[in-house]
Chains A and B, each alone.
Chain A
Amino acid sequence: MDDTETAKAGDADHTRIAQQFIEAIPHARALQMRIDEIGGGRAVISMPWAEHLVGDPRSGVVHGGVISALMDTCCGAAVMADDSKPSSTATIDLRIDYMRTARPGHRITARAEVFHMTRRVAFMRAVALDDDDVGNPVATATGAFTAER
Protein backbone atom coordinates (compact mmCIF):
# COMPACT_ATOMS: atom_id res chain seq x y z
CA MET A 1 0.00 0.00 0.00
CA ASP A 2 1.32 3.44 -0.86
CA ASP A 3 0.60 6.43 1.34
CA THR A 4 -2.60 7.43 -0.45
CA GLU A 5 -4.01 3.94 -0.12
CA THR A 6 -3.09 3.82 3.56
CA ALA A 7 -4.78 7.18 3.98
CA LYS A 8 -7.88 5.92 2.15
CA ALA A 9 -8.00 2.76 4.25
CA GLY A 10 -7.58 5.00 7.28
CA ASP A 11 -10.49 7.16 6.12
CA ALA A 12 -12.72 4.13 5.58
CA ASP A 13 -11.78 2.89 9.04
CA HIS A 14 -12.52 6.31 10.45
CA THR A 15 -15.93 6.40 8.77
CA ARG A 16 -16.78 2.93 10.05
CA ILE A 17 -15.85 3.82 13.64
CA ALA A 18 -17.74 7.11 13.37
CA GLN A 19 -20.79 5.27 12.00
CA GLN A 20 -20.72 2.95 15.03
CA PHE A 21 -20.45 6.03 17.23
CA ILE A 22 -23.50 7.57 15.53
CA GLU A 23 -25.46 4.34 15.82
CA ALA A 24 -24.87 4.35 19.57
CA ILE A 25 -26.83 7.63 19.69
CA PRO A 26 -30.52 6.65 19.94
CA HIS A 27 -31.79 9.87 18.38
CA ALA A 28 -29.36 9.73 15.45
CA ARG A 29 -30.45 6.15 14.84
CA ALA A 30 -34.12 7.11 15.10
CA LEU A 31 -33.52 9.64 12.32
CA GLN A 32 -31.52 7.05 10.31
CA MET A 33 -28.46 9.28 10.07
CA ARG A 34 -25.56 8.04 7.97
CA ILE A 35 -21.97 9.29 8.02
CA ASP A 36 -20.84 9.90 4.45
CA GLU A 37 -17.46 11.51 5.15
CA ILE A 38 -15.47 12.34 8.25
CA GLY A 39 -12.00 13.54 9.18
CA GLY A 40 -9.81 16.63 9.48
CA GLY A 41 -12.41 18.65 11.37
CA ARG A 42 -15.09 18.02 8.76
CA ALA A 43 -18.14 15.77 8.67
CA VAL A 44 -20.84 14.97 6.13
CA ILE A 45 -23.94 13.28 7.54
CA SER A 46 -27.16 12.57 5.69
CA MET A 47 -30.61 11.25 6.52
CA PRO A 48 -33.69 10.20 4.53
CA TRP A 49 -36.97 12.10 4.32
CA ALA A 50 -39.76 10.41 6.29
CA GLU A 51 -43.48 10.98 6.77
CA HIS A 52 -43.27 11.31 10.56
CA LEU A 53 -40.68 14.10 10.33
CA VAL A 54 -43.04 16.42 8.49
CA GLY A 55 -43.72 19.82 10.04
CA ASP A 56 -46.27 21.05 7.53
CA PRO A 57 -48.63 18.30 6.29
CA ARG A 58 -49.96 20.52 3.50
CA SER A 59 -46.58 20.64 1.79
CA GLY A 60 -44.86 17.54 3.20
CA VAL A 61 -41.85 19.65 4.21
CA VAL A 62 -39.79 18.31 7.13
CA HIS A 63 -39.84 20.25 10.37
CA GLY A 64 -37.05 22.71 11.12
CA GLY A 65 -36.26 20.76 14.26
CA VAL A 66 -35.16 17.80 12.13
CA ILE A 67 -32.64 20.04 10.37
CA SER A 68 -31.47 21.24 13.81
CA ALA A 69 -30.91 17.67 14.98
CA LEU A 70 -28.94 16.82 11.84
CA MET A 71 -26.83 20.01 11.97
CA ASP A 72 -26.14 19.55 15.69
CA THR A 73 -25.02 15.94 15.23
CA CYS A 74 -22.92 16.83 12.20
CA CYS A 75 -21.18 19.73 13.98
CA GLY A 76 -20.51 17.51 17.01
CA ALA A 77 -19.04 14.81 14.76
CA ALA A 78 -16.81 17.37 12.99
CA VAL A 79 -15.51 18.64 16.36
CA MET A 80 -14.61 15.08 17.35
CA ALA A 81 -12.92 14.60 13.96
CA ASP A 82 -10.64 17.60 14.48
CA ASP A 83 -6.93 16.83 14.24
CA SER A 84 -6.45 18.04 17.82
CA LYS A 85 -8.59 15.04 18.92
CA PRO A 86 -10.95 16.43 21.58
CA SER A 87 -12.08 13.75 24.06
CA SER A 88 -15.69 14.92 24.03
CA THR A 89 -17.88 17.83 22.99
CA ALA A 90 -21.18 19.52 23.84
CA THR A 91 -23.17 22.23 22.12
CA ILE A 92 -22.83 25.67 23.71
CA ASP A 93 -24.96 27.45 21.16
CA LEU A 94 -26.30 26.78 17.70
CA ARG A 95 -27.93 29.22 15.32
CA ILE A 96 -29.80 27.96 12.28
CA ASP A 97 -30.84 30.17 9.37
CA TYR A 98 -33.60 28.62 7.31
CA MET A 99 -32.97 29.73 3.72
CA ARG A 100 -35.70 27.74 2.00
CA THR A 101 -37.93 24.72 2.53
CA ALA A 102 -36.40 21.27 2.00
CA ARG A 103 -37.91 19.35 -0.91
CA PRO A 104 -40.28 16.57 0.25
CA GLY A 105 -38.96 13.08 -0.41
CA HIS A 106 -35.35 14.21 -0.80
CA ARG A 107 -32.46 13.05 1.36
CA ILE A 108 -30.99 15.85 3.50
CA THR A 109 -27.23 16.18 3.85
CA ALA A 110 -25.39 18.29 6.41
CA ARG A 111 -21.78 19.36 5.89
CA ALA A 112 -20.02 20.77 8.93
CA GLU A 113 -16.51 22.05 9.48
CA VAL A 114 -14.43 23.47 12.29
CA PHE A 115 -14.14 27.14 11.39
CA HIS A 116 -11.78 27.89 14.26
CA MET A 117 -10.54 25.73 17.12
CA THR A 118 -9.26 27.04 20.42
CA ARG A 119 -8.12 25.00 23.40
CA ARG A 120 -11.62 24.79 24.86
CA VAL A 121 -14.02 25.98 22.17
CA ALA A 122 -14.74 24.93 18.58
CA PHE A 123 -16.42 27.49 16.34
CA MET A 124 -18.44 25.62 13.75
CA ARG A 125 -20.04 26.32 10.37
CA ALA A 126 -22.48 23.99 8.64
CA VAL A 127 -24.89 23.82 5.72
CA ALA A 128 -27.85 21.54 5.04
CA LEU A 129 -28.50 20.53 1.43
CA ASP A 130 -31.19 18.54 -0.35
CA ASP A 131 -29.14 18.20 -3.57
CA ASP A 132 -25.52 18.66 -4.64
CA ASP A 133 -25.78 22.41 -5.05
CA VAL A 134 -23.73 23.90 -2.21
CA GLY A 135 -24.73 27.34 -3.47
CA ASN A 136 -28.40 26.73 -2.72
CA PRO A 137 -28.58 25.41 0.85
CA VAL A 138 -31.78 24.57 2.74
CA ALA A 139 -30.24 26.02 5.88
CA THR A 140 -26.94 27.22 7.30
CA ALA A 141 -25.73 26.99 10.87
CA THR A 142 -23.09 28.56 13.06
CA GLY A 143 -22.34 27.22 16.48
CA ALA A 144 -19.97 27.15 19.41
CA PHE A 145 -19.13 23.74 20.85
CA THR A 146 -17.02 22.73 23.82
CA ALA A 147 -13.77 20.89 23.10
CA GLU A 148 -12.87 18.77 26.07
CA ARG A 149 -9.21 17.74 26.33
Chain B
Amino acid sequence: MEKLAGQNKKKSFREPGTDSTYLIKTENLSKIYPIGLTTLTALDNINLAFVKGDFAGLVGPSGSGKTTLLNILGSLDSPTTGSAVVMGKKVETLTHREAAGLRNHHIGFIFQTFNLLPVYSVYENVEFPLLLQNFSSSGRKKLVMDALEWVGLADRAFSKPLQLSGGQSQRVAIARAIVKNPELVLADEPTANLDAENSRNIMDTMARLNENLKTTFIFATHDEKVMRYLKRIITLNDGRVAKDERAAGEGT
Protein backbone atom coordinates (compact mmCIF):
# COMPACT_ATOMS: atom_id res chain seq x y z
CA MET B 1 0.00 0.00 0.00
CA GLU B 2 2.94 2.32 0.48
CA LYS B 3 3.59 1.88 -3.21
CA LEU B 4 0.01 2.89 -3.87
CA ALA B 5 0.36 5.85 -1.56
CA GLY B 6 3.59 6.94 -3.20
CA GLN B 7 2.04 7.10 -6.66
CA ASN B 8 -0.15 9.75 -8.12
CA LYS B 9 1.15 12.87 -6.47
CA LYS B 10 -1.62 15.43 -6.76
CA LYS B 11 -1.48 19.12 -7.42
CA SER B 12 -3.03 21.32 -4.77
CA PHE B 13 -6.69 21.63 -5.50
CA ARG B 14 -7.43 23.97 -2.68
CA GLU B 15 -9.03 27.34 -3.30
CA PRO B 16 -7.25 30.30 -1.72
CA GLY B 17 -8.78 31.34 1.56
CA THR B 18 -10.22 27.97 2.48
CA ASP B 19 -9.33 26.30 5.76
CA SER B 20 -6.63 23.68 5.18
CA THR B 21 -7.12 22.13 8.63
CA TYR B 22 -10.13 20.22 7.44
CA LEU B 23 -10.54 17.87 4.51
CA ILE B 24 -14.23 18.68 4.49
CA LYS B 25 -16.13 21.44 6.20
CA THR B 26 -19.81 22.28 5.93
CA GLU B 27 -21.30 25.48 7.25
CA ASN B 28 -25.03 25.98 7.70
CA LEU B 29 -25.55 23.55 4.83
CA SER B 30 -29.14 23.00 3.80
CA LYS B 31 -30.71 21.14 0.93
CA ILE B 32 -34.31 21.83 0.03
CA TYR B 33 -36.19 20.06 -2.72
CA PRO B 34 -39.27 21.62 -4.27
CA ILE B 35 -42.15 19.15 -4.33
CA GLY B 36 -45.07 20.59 -6.23
CA LEU B 37 -46.10 23.73 -4.41
CA THR B 38 -44.34 22.75 -1.20
CA THR B 39 -40.77 21.94 -0.30
CA LEU B 40 -38.93 19.13 1.41
CA THR B 41 -35.97 19.96 3.59
CA ALA B 42 -33.57 17.05 3.21
CA LEU B 43 -30.70 18.69 5.10
CA ASP B 44 -31.14 21.47 7.58
CA ASN B 45 -28.28 23.64 8.78
CA ILE B 46 -25.56 21.01 8.83
CA ASN B 47 -22.24 22.05 10.34
CA LEU B 48 -19.66 19.29 10.16
CA ALA B 49 -15.93 19.00 9.68
CA PHE B 50 -13.85 15.99 8.66
CA VAL B 51 -10.09 15.71 8.89
CA LYS B 52 -7.71 13.46 6.97
CA GLY B 53 -7.96 9.91 8.25
CA ASP B 54 -11.52 10.10 9.51
CA PHE B 55 -13.44 6.82 9.39
CA ALA B 56 -16.91 8.19 9.88
CA GLY B 57 -20.42 7.05 9.33
CA LEU B 58 -23.62 8.91 8.66
CA VAL B 59 -26.32 6.89 10.30
CA GLY B 60 -30.00 7.38 10.72
CA PRO B 61 -33.33 6.13 9.45
CA SER B 62 -34.39 6.27 5.82
CA GLY B 63 -35.09 9.84 4.74
CA SER B 64 -32.80 11.32 7.35
CA GLY B 65 -30.55 12.90 4.68
CA LYS B 66 -27.55 10.50 4.71
CA THR B 67 -27.37 9.99 0.97
CA THR B 68 -28.15 13.63 0.21
CA LEU B 69 -25.22 14.70 2.35
CA LEU B 70 -23.01 12.08 0.71
CA ASN B 71 -24.05 13.44 -2.71
CA ILE B 72 -23.03 16.95 -1.73
CA LEU B 73 -19.74 15.87 -0.17
CA GLY B 74 -19.03 13.91 -3.36
CA SER B 75 -19.70 17.02 -5.50
CA LEU B 76 -22.57 15.19 -7.17
CA ASP B 77 -25.02 17.77 -5.86
CA SER B 78 -24.78 21.24 -4.38
CA PRO B 79 -26.38 22.74 -1.28
CA THR B 80 -29.39 25.03 -1.55
CA THR B 81 -27.94 27.31 1.11
CA GLY B 82 -24.80 27.26 3.18
CA SER B 83 -21.47 25.94 2.11
CA ALA B 84 -19.60 22.67 1.65
CA VAL B 85 -15.85 22.95 1.22
CA VAL B 86 -14.33 19.67 0.06
CA MET B 87 -10.57 19.59 -0.18
CA GLY B 88 -10.48 23.33 -0.41
CA LYS B 89 -13.16 23.55 -3.08
CA LYS B 90 -16.53 25.12 -2.53
CA VAL B 91 -18.89 22.51 -3.94
CA GLU B 92 -21.66 25.05 -4.55
CA THR B 93 -19.47 27.06 -6.93
CA LEU B 94 -18.06 24.19 -8.96
CA THR B 95 -18.96 23.79 -12.61
CA HIS B 96 -19.86 20.29 -13.84
CA ARG B 97 -16.38 19.93 -15.28
CA GLU B 98 -14.69 21.08 -12.07
CA ALA B 99 -16.88 18.78 -9.99
CA ALA B 100 -15.97 15.88 -12.27
CA GLY B 101 -12.31 16.79 -11.87
CA LEU B 102 -12.65 16.81 -8.09
CA ARG B 103 -14.28 13.37 -8.14
CA ASN B 104 -11.81 12.00 -10.64
CA HIS B 105 -8.69 13.02 -8.73
CA HIS B 106 -9.70 13.12 -5.10
CA ILE B 107 -12.82 11.11 -4.33
CA GLY B 108 -13.54 7.41 -4.58
CA PHE B 109 -17.07 6.03 -4.57
CA ILE B 110 -18.34 2.71 -3.33
CA PHE B 111 -21.94 1.81 -4.09
CA GLN B 112 -24.36 -0.57 -2.46
CA THR B 113 -24.73 -2.59 -5.67
CA PHE B 114 -21.02 -2.56 -6.66
CA ASN B 115 -21.80 -1.14 -10.12
CA LEU B 116 -18.94 -2.79 -11.92
CA LEU B 117 -18.94 -2.52 -15.71
CA PRO B 118 -19.95 -6.04 -16.73
CA VAL B 119 -18.22 -6.20 -20.13
CA TYR B 120 -14.85 -5.33 -18.68
CA SER B 121 -12.57 -7.53 -16.63
CA VAL B 122 -11.77 -6.87 -12.99
CA TYR B 123 -8.46 -5.35 -14.10
CA GLU B 124 -10.16 -3.04 -16.61
CA ASN B 125 -12.79 -1.94 -14.11
CA VAL B 126 -10.10 -0.91 -11.65
CA GLU B 127 -8.04 0.65 -14.43
CA PHE B 128 -10.86 2.90 -15.65
CA PRO B 129 -10.35 5.90 -13.28
CA LEU B 130 -6.66 5.92 -14.23
CA LEU B 131 -7.52 6.05 -17.94
CA LEU B 132 -9.32 9.30 -17.26
CA GLN B 133 -6.17 10.67 -15.68
CA ASN B 134 -4.01 9.70 -18.68
CA PHE B 135 -1.63 7.47 -16.75
CA SER B 136 0.90 5.56 -18.84
CA SER B 137 0.16 1.92 -19.52
CA SER B 138 2.94 0.72 -17.22
CA GLY B 139 1.89 3.18 -14.50
CA ARG B 140 -1.70 1.96 -14.71
CA LYS B 141 -0.67 -1.67 -14.56
CA LYS B 142 1.36 -1.14 -11.42
CA LEU B 143 -1.34 0.81 -9.63
CA VAL B 144 -4.12 -1.59 -10.63
CA MET B 145 -2.20 -4.65 -9.49
CA ASP B 146 -1.26 -2.91 -6.21
CA ALA B 147 -4.91 -2.06 -5.59
CA LEU B 148 -6.02 -5.58 -6.42
CA GLU B 149 -3.38 -7.03 -4.13
CA TRP B 150 -4.68 -4.85 -1.36
CA VAL B 151 -8.17 -6.18 -1.72
CA GLY B 152 -6.83 -9.72 -2.20
CA LEU B 153 -8.02 -10.18 -5.76
CA ALA B 154 -4.80 -10.01 -7.79
CA ASP B 155 -5.41 -13.58 -8.92
CA ARG B 156 -8.85 -12.65 -10.28
CA ALA B 157 -7.60 -9.68 -12.32
CA PHE B 158 -8.81 -11.09 -15.60
CA SER B 159 -12.11 -12.48 -14.40
CA LYS B 160 -15.35 -10.86 -15.42
CA PRO B 161 -17.57 -9.27 -12.74
CA LEU B 162 -20.25 -11.89 -13.36
CA GLN B 163 -17.79 -14.59 -12.33
CA LEU B 164 -17.32 -13.02 -8.90
CA SER B 165 -19.26 -13.38 -5.67
CA GLY B 166 -20.93 -10.34 -4.09
CA GLY B 167 -18.07 -9.92 -1.62
CA GLN B 168 -15.46 -10.15 -4.35
CA SER B 169 -17.38 -7.66 -6.49
CA GLN B 170 -17.46 -5.17 -3.64
CA ARG B 171 -13.74 -5.64 -3.11
CA VAL B 172 -13.21 -4.84 -6.80
CA ALA B 173 -15.33 -1.71 -6.29
CA ILE B 174 -13.08 -0.76 -3.36
CA ALA B 175 -10.00 -1.32 -5.53
CA ARG B 176 -11.57 0.92 -8.18
CA ALA B 177 -12.21 3.58 -5.55
CA ILE B 178 -8.71 3.53 -4.06
CA VAL B 179 -6.60 2.90 -7.17
CA LYS B 180 -6.13 6.62 -7.75
CA ASN B 181 -5.16 7.06 -4.10
CA PRO B 182 -7.96 9.48 -3.26
CA GLU B 183 -8.02 11.53 -0.08
CA LEU B 184 -11.68 10.70 0.42
CA VAL B 185 -13.80 7.60 -0.14
CA LEU B 186 -17.59 7.86 0.07
CA ALA B 187 -19.46 4.62 0.54
CA ASP B 188 -23.22 4.33 0.43
CA GLU B 189 -24.45 1.22 2.26
CA PRO B 190 -21.41 -0.79 1.11
CA THR B 191 -22.43 -3.93 2.97
CA ALA B 192 -26.17 -3.84 2.30
CA ASN B 193 -25.98 -6.62 -0.27
CA LEU B 194 -23.45 -8.77 1.52
CA ASP B 195 -23.65 -11.53 4.10
CA ALA B 196 -22.04 -11.17 7.53
CA GLU B 197 -18.69 -12.71 6.61
CA ASN B 198 -18.30 -10.69 3.43
CA SER B 199 -19.38 -7.54 5.27
CA ARG B 200 -16.67 -8.15 7.85
CA ASN B 201 -14.04 -8.73 5.13
CA ILE B 202 -15.03 -5.57 3.33
CA MET B 203 -14.96 -3.47 6.48
CA ASP B 204 -11.61 -5.01 7.49
CA THR B 205 -10.21 -4.05 4.11
CA MET B 206 -11.45 -0.48 4.34
CA ALA B 207 -10.28 -0.11 7.93
CA ARG B 208 -6.84 -1.32 6.87
CA LEU B 209 -6.74 1.21 4.01
CA ASN B 210 -7.76 3.95 6.41
CA GLU B 211 -5.11 2.89 8.84
CA ASN B 212 -2.29 2.63 6.33
CA LEU B 213 -3.08 5.31 3.80
CA LYS B 214 -4.91 7.69 6.07
CA THR B 215 -7.63 7.74 3.46
CA THR B 216 -10.76 9.40 4.83
CA PHE B 217 -13.83 7.18 4.65
CA ILE B 218 -17.37 8.43 5.07
CA PHE B 219 -20.14 5.88 5.06
CA ALA B 220 -23.87 6.21 4.82
CA THR B 221 -25.22 3.19 6.63
CA HIS B 222 -27.62 1.77 9.11
CA ASP B 223 -25.85 -1.55 9.30
CA GLU B 224 -24.77 -2.42 12.83
CA LYS B 225 -21.84 -4.42 11.51
CA VAL B 226 -20.46 -1.32 9.81
CA MET B 227 -21.04 0.87 12.82
CA ARG B 228 -18.79 -1.35 14.94
CA TYR B 229 -15.84 -0.33 12.75
CA LEU B 230 -16.55 3.41 12.69
CA LYS B 231 -14.33 5.80 14.61
CA ARG B 232 -16.96 8.48 14.39
CA ILE B 233 -20.73 8.16 14.12
CA ILE B 234 -22.84 11.09 12.98
CA THR B 235 -26.50 10.48 13.51
CA LEU B 236 -28.86 12.34 11.25
CA ASN B 237 -32.51 12.77 11.94
CA ASP B 238 -34.90 14.71 9.72
CA GLY B 239 -31.97 16.34 7.99
CA ARG B 240 -30.32 17.56 11.15
CA VAL B 241 -27.26 16.34 13.01
CA ALA B 242 -28.72 14.65 16.07
CA LYS B 243 -25.44 13.29 17.45
CA ASP B 244 -21.77 13.39 16.48
CA GLU B 245 -19.87 10.84 18.57
CA ARG B 246 -16.32 9.56 18.40
CA ALA B 247 -15.33 6.05 19.44
CA ALA B 248 -13.33 5.71 22.62
CA GLY B 249 -9.71 6.65 22.03
CA GLU B 250 -10.41 8.75 18.95
CA GLY B 251 -9.62 12.43 19.24
CA THR B 252 -11.93 15.23 18.16
The answer on A and B forming one complex is: no
Residues of A participating in the B interface, judged by any CB pair closer than 8 Å = none
Binding site for A on B (CB under 8 A): none
